[in-house]
């Protein structure tokens, strides 16, 4: 079995209430497990804070309606 650790940065227009369309940055990592050249498991972790328009903010959990 092989593993890959991949760091990523997502930059896009925010859709957070009150910050719509301001630049947002999220950071995280993926851990991907391979066996015989095929992905058998993928785990994704992301920080619990985001940066919107250059300001760090704590993410709030999504609550289903």
pLDDT score recorded for residue 60: 64
Q: What is the pTM of this model?
A: 0.66
Give tens-digit pLDDT for 6-51: 999 989 898 888 889 999 888 999 999 999 999 999 999 988 778 8
Residue 61 has pLDDT above 70, yes or no: no
**CA distances in angstroms from 62 to 16, 35, 39, 65, listed in the order given:** 11, 34, 29, 9
Distance CA 20, CA 44 (A): 25
């Amino acid at each position: 079995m092989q593993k890959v650790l991949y760091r990523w940065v997502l930059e896009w227009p925010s859709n957070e209430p009150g910050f719509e369309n301001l630049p947002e940055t999220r950071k995280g990592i993926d851990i991907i497990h391979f066996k015989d050249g095929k992905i058998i498991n993928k785990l994704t972790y992301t920080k619990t804070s985001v940066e919107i328009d250059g300001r760090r903010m704590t993410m709030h959990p999504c609550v289903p309606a």
